[in-house]
Structure 1
């Protein structure tokens, strides 16, 4: 049926590789797309994929002489567990073209090919760079970002949690999502790419419903994997399939000092592909390491833990950046010799030597007689491999073997491994157009699925390397189908590189950087990662943040890391990191440069976490005690320092509070914590600080902004005195003149001087941070809005000061109170705080700023100028408020952020109305007379 809703765009839910493939494909076929992701930035689990992407018959395989094709691949996939031949065939038939699409359209290096478990041919592609999941996904993210920046063909909305599909009859016409505490709708065909449910351990989760026996296991999934897409699809009648088939991966990496962590890093299957072998607690092999994941996991249940994945020198050299990365994260260990390994395992060296010798002899016999042997082989035939305790399915393929005699002096990289929940095979049932099937066994118009949310592709077991392929193939199928659904005959071919203004020098060149340029250096030698991961000793010159200071911020509630000489406060970012909190906490208080650069592109911090940069590494002496998420450049006037006393609650209570709400719920709690944090930060501009230093610290920016906001409020209240008449308004102005004695002999008082310091700090730090972080952004991206509005406001302030602070005025006769304020009238509930009307009072002549206001604003042009300035200020304030509220230093619990942000908007609007009111009051009304106006106004 035709929909009455607008259908001029496709909606992609999820920013992983499936979503990005779908979104880019929609644009390639002439459509518009909006991408919604509930994380703070895109990527999802796809960025953590470590082995590669499968392709049969690719140009890379042909160049290497690998005799593979889609038919062989399809047979392997069906044998591996797939149950729907039409979907398996589509996956494998499209694999070569889609891998080549990645290489050619995004300039990716996928030149290395390996054989993973369950594959009869080497077909898992990766590059010579960082982990392939990050490399591929980031390249597609960059391309879509370029499209969004250069055109109106794409829009990316993060922190947007889609919770409902909108239907009209049996047609899916859009979705509803929550962002910042408000609900919004988007209309158009929907492509679900929201992932699986492998991280939802709640009592009503899909995992609890279909596989309660797995709830005790750890997982490799990010916290966002809660099955949202499946639940939304089922709610409108979409059928699900195979939800009981949850893949348990055999090689989750155990961090010895946090062995019970619920979220584990995953050891790339490529580690076994290059020749890694698995040993049990007795030092013996017990399975075919290249067997399917379900098979290897099953053999682990039968054997004795702990299990170790061991790579000899040749194997680790081939994949050294993985080994160094895992070692840096504390989940892999380097042993200089096999003797050291045997000692650490608590087994005799000759046991490990015998294990390797049996493996070596089986490999040599296979070279001479590949089809011989006495044991069943995996996937078929006979094998010479008979490891101790093994029940069959021996090896047919060997790589980087060593004889037992070499073990004693051979270096090894070794990881303790455990079975982990990894991938949900089941999901929403799709057809060959990637359309979701309804209860009537027909496709639901306007609803598609790609990636892990889609079911029926893998059956009861997924082969390694098929997950990234599944995302790309069915993402592209869904994207093309959605474009056809919208456009029909109006579909057209669009070159993404042309759309982005020359992709090879824009998005695609950036994707080269996403791949990295570290491989040659890292492959130069298989050095122990303990040495590679050693932190740099200082550097950066004086005035920076010392590594000793960084080391003090090493907890979940206060986490700093160093990357490429920059100090990052990532406390508030931990829960949003797609790799999980552990990925960062491993390096809390340390230099993470090498490990970070192994998997991240060079521009990722500047693009996705610019506000986390709080300074640079230097040689400053360690602070007596760490500042409250601050450090340097925080004070406006610095006095003393913290005396090491911690006024916060216990670490655990604070951590729980910061993730949720405090003891006061709802709006009242938001008000309380916002005001408390605000006042604390204002106070911290003075009392606990050390010497004034400058390094572009974000806290210096936020604290000065908050102080200036307080000044703006006070100034607005002061300006309201214009409604009370010339005595009140001129008396208010003279109040500050009487404080000139506090200004150290300058023609100003200490309040004005402090405000000037705050303004200078705010402007200089803001400009420096803009220069360091944001100058690579285009104007259309909106990333420079704060800078532009700030510069405009700076221009206004100069004009404002010239007109009113330093402008010429006439004298006005006034009786000021003897003690700065007329407290007597305050007790009498009268408003004349700044003047007295007692007979015989001592009069003085002051600046008649009241008359000046009326004279200036008689001009409609100046009124409109000030109105424009107020609008720009309000915009600047609201943009800045969005960044201030979640700042770690303010310590507002996370669930209050949305309420606090909206309260800031309300305050800003109220203040703006105050400023506008007296401007137009002066324009529309005549001046009042002062109490002494009848007397001569001549001093």
Structure 2
């Protein structure tokens, strides 16, 4: 019998790793058919209090201070027991990622709502083994899952179209899942960890978003189209209780693509851009808010101010501090670089004197530490004669604080207030952790902390069930040996055959050479080629499986995507997850 982890983002992977460490068998199912989820889009970092990195940098942070910051951000709506788990285990979570995966989390920033710098990310300026790019948790941990232990059965190429909880047994316990694969319904048996994410892209017929926050229905979203509340709906169908489902976070800084301003799905401008000193300016060139306030507060001020477009502006030092992000956004056409204040003023359609005054007024605030908007933390004065990176912002649906009610052991609670045996939840699928507003940097933290908690709880539950089965059998040696194999009444899910990579026809096609002129002919949604590291890929069929969404690929249709790909991915991603996409090499 295996523990079934449903969802391949950071919460699911953290649960799977923890289960493997506890000696359990793991079956990992992912709706996307590709590990990653929304976790792959998080680039600001992960929060942690009292970490090894903070101690090295002399940052006087602790779990109590983090608890107080989270409690304040939650508007007293989150549960203290869950906040205590989140913040109390935060330092250990960051240390675990560093120790287990060798991640570079050596830089620490202060994001909005934090009284101490505690959001950890990598140093983008010194790449080492691909791990020091801003954030490599997902590709690194996903790549290591199959190698950790033969007991793991991750299936990143399964395109799971339907997952439903099996009927509960007489005790009310969840005993497994049913899922569809290649048109067939399969069954797997064992306790279940749900890590399916939120519902901020739930535009389906039974949408949780439309039911609980209809006024937000027409907003754009940063979420992939897999975020449709599947786990919440499945658990509630077997008696799970939802909590805070109306608590939907609208992030203030979604990036507006000048070529597609009305796009429903938008890339997020990482909170770290404001954390390093970026300013928000309205169409008059003026500041109107403390850029480091809570997300819901900044969003409210944007709507209240109504002077569009809103621009996020980074000066030279801020741009250097977060160089990877600037390069990433510029490469996607979502941000522009300007070589002077005059060029910035021209872009905004304002006299240079207006921008100069904005900077002068801000510098006076930096010196006096008295900001009319209440800002308390500053990153230095601004110069007019400087380099600037600028992007247009809009509020976007981002994170759902509501979800399944869980207890401090990640057990899903039923409508009677009792844990459902055999059912656990971690990450955005769970509610009650962040209250009315989530702090930046706590989404990935929630994934790791409650992923590990759910893994521990599911492993303990599995051991308890196995022990009970052995006792019921009378303790005979034959009963024990039966437990070591696969019970005939509970057949394990059959793993899929690996993708073929050795046919002569396949080898022949991959040895074919193409010119860039050939590649440029294939740039439509139903016919997309790209070039990555000298290889020509036909990614048409992979488009719906891409965890970063279709748009991330469409931007590079018919182009060389090498630089962008290498900033975000490990070189092993293509042979591991999309070997059949390679159709040849680029002719030199």
After superposing the two structures, state which structure 1 stretch, 601-610 or 123-132, moved more.
Answer: 123-132
Which position in structure 2 is the counterpart of 1:164? 164
Alignment partner of 1:444 out of 398, 417, 420: 420
Q: Give the superposition deviation at 1:412.
A: 0.6
Q: Give the superposition deviation at 1:571.
A: 1.4
Work out whether 1:419 is the aligned partner of 2:399: no
Q: Is residue 255–residue 334 contact of structure 2 (8 Å, CA) maintained in 1?
A: yes
Which position in structure 1 is the counterpart of 2:254? 252
Q: Is residue 36–residue 161 contact of structure 1 (8 Å, CA) maintained in 2?
A: no
SS state of the match for residue 301, structure 2? helix
Alignment partner of 1:477 out of 440, 453, 466: 453
Work out whether 1:564 is the aligned partner of 2:533: yes
For 1:228-247, list aligned pairs within 5 A: 228-247=230-249
Work out whether 1:398 is the aligned partner of 2:383: no
Work out whether 1:318 is the aligned partner of 2:331: no
**C-alpha separation in 1, matches of 2:572 and 2:37:** 18
Which position in structure 1 is the counterpart of 2:18? 25
For 1:411-560, list aligned pairs within 5 A: 411-488=387-464, 544-560=513-529
Question: How high is the TM-score relative to the length of structure 1?
Answer: 0.56
Change (3 A) 1:547 1:400: farther
Which position in structure 1 is the counterpart of 2:122? 127
Work out whether 1:332 is the aligned partner of 2:335: yes
Which position in structure 2 is the counterpart of 1:385? 371
| Deviation string, structure 1 residues 367-425 (Cα, Å, up to 9, x no partner) | xxxxxxxxxxxxxxxxx112xxxxx4x100011431xxx31x31111111110000000
Change (3 A) 1:25 1:361: same
| Deviation string, structure 1 residues 217-249 (Cα, Å, up to 9, x no partner) | 110101111101000111011110011010000
Q: Give the superposition deviation at 1:461.
A: 0.5
**C-alpha separation in 2, matches of 1:234 and 1:489:** 24
For 1:274-293, list aligned pairs within 5 A: 274-293=276-295
Q: Is residue 122–residue 134 contact of structure 2 (8 Å, CA) maintained in 1?
A: no
Alignment partner of 2:46 out of 43, 53, 56: 53
Change (3 A) 1:609 1:131: farther
**C-alpha separation in 2, matches of 1:155 and 1:118:** 37
SS state of the match for residue 437, structure 2? coil
**C-alpha separation in 2, matches of 1:351 and 1:483:** 62
Q: Give the superposition deviation at 1:161.
A: 3.6
Change (3 A) 1:474 1:543: closer
Q: Is residue 409–residue 457 contact of structure 2 (8 Å, CA) maintained in 1?
A: yes
Alignment partner of 2:81 out of 82, 86, 90: 86
**C-alpha separation in 2, matches of 1:131 and 1:310:** 25
Greater RCO, 1 or 2 (C-alpha within 8 Å, sep 6+): 2
Which position in structure 2 is the counterpart of 1:95? 90
Q: Is residue 50–residue 91 contact of structure 2 (8 Å, CA) maintained in 1?
A: yes
Gaps of 5+ in 2: 125-130, 468-510
Alignment partner of 1:588 out of 544, 557, 577: 557
**C-alpha separation in 2, matches of 1:601 and 1:223:** 24
Q: Give the superposition deviation at 1:613.
A: 1.2
Q: Give the superposition deviation at 1:569.
A: 1.2
Q: Which has the larger Rg?
A: 1
User: Would you tell me which structure has more strand in proportion to its own residues?
Assistant: 2
Q: Is residue 192–residue 423 contact of structure 2 (8 Å, CA) maintained in 1?
A: yes
Which position in structure 1 is the counterpart of 2:351? 348
Q: Give the superposition deviation at 1:203.
A: 4.0
Q: Give the superposition deviation at 1:132.
A: 7.1
Q: Is residue 49–residue 61 contact of structure 2 (8 Å, CA) maintained in 1?
A: yes
Gaps of 5+ in 1: 1-7, 367-383, 387-391, 492-541, 620-939
SS state of the match for residue 136, structure 2? helix
**C-alpha separation in 1, matches of 2:517 and 2:563:** 19
Change (3 A) 1:133 1:469: farther
**C-alpha separation in 1, matches of 2:179 and 2:132:** 32
**C-alpha separation in 1, matches of 2:134 and 2:348:** 33
Which position in structure 2 is the counterpart of 1:600? 569
Which position in structure 2 is the counterpart of 1:635? none
Q: Give the superposition deviation at 1:298.
A: 0.3
Q: Give the superposition deviation at 1:255.
A: 0.7
**C-alpha separation in 2, matches of 1:243 and 1:332:** 34
**C-alpha separation in 1, matches of 2:353 and 2:291:** 21
| Deviation string, structure 1 residues 749-773 (Cα, Å, up to 9, x no partner) | xxxxxxxxxxxxxxxxxxxxxxxxx
Q: Is residue 338–residue 410 contact of structure 1 (8 Å, CA) maintained in 2?
A: yes
| Deviation string, structure 1 residues 126-163 (Cα, Å, up to 9, x no partner) | 1124797851112221221113xx51344436212443
**C-alpha separation in 2, matches of 1:155 and 1:565:** 29
Which position in structure 1 is the counterpart of 2:179? 177
Q: Is residue 543–residue 618 contact of structure 1 (8 Å, CA) maintained in 2?
A: no
SS state of the match for residue 42, structure 1? coil
Which position in structure 2 is the counterpart of 1:225? 227
**C-alpha separation in 2, matches of 1:576 and 1:338:** 42
**C-alpha separation in 2, matches of 1:227 and 1:297:** 24
Q: Give the superposition deviation at 1:563.
A: 1.2
| Deviation string, structure 1 residues 510-537 (Cα, Å, up to 9, x no partner) | xxxxxxxxxxxxxxxxxxxxxxxxxxxx
SS state of the match for residue 172, structure 1? coil
Work out whether 1:16 is the aligned partner of 2:9: yes
Which position in structure 2 is the counterpart of 1:36? 29
**C-alpha separation in 2, matches of 1:36 and 1:350:** 58
User: Would you tell me which structure has more helix in proportion to its own residues?
Assistant: 1
Which position in structure 2 is the counterpart of 1:908? none
Q: Give the superposition deviation at 1:543.
A: 7.5
SS state of the match for residue 72, structure 1? helix
Question: How high is the TM-score relative to the length of structure 2?
Answer: 0.88
Q: Give the superposition deviation at 1:56.
A: 0.1
Which position in structure 2 is the counterpart of 1:112? 107
Alignment partner of 1:193 out of 187, 192, 195: 195
SS state of the match for residue 513, structure 2? coil
Q: Is residue 27–residue 154 contact of structure 1 (8 Å, CA) maintained in 2?
A: no
Work out whether 1:308 is the aligned partner of 2:311: yes
For 1:132-143, list aligned pairs within 5 A: 135-143=136-144
Q: Give the superposition deviation at 1:348.
A: 1.5
Q: Is residue 7–residue 29 contact of structure 2 (8 Å, CA) maintained in 1?
A: yes
**C-alpha separation in 2, matches of 1:18 and 1:251:** 24
Q: How many correspondences in the alignment?
A: 533
Which position in structure 1 is the counterpart of 2:498? none
SS state of the match for residue 265, structure 1? coil
Alignment partner of 1:212 out of 207, 214, 219: 214
Q: Give the superposition deviation at 1:25.
A: 0.5
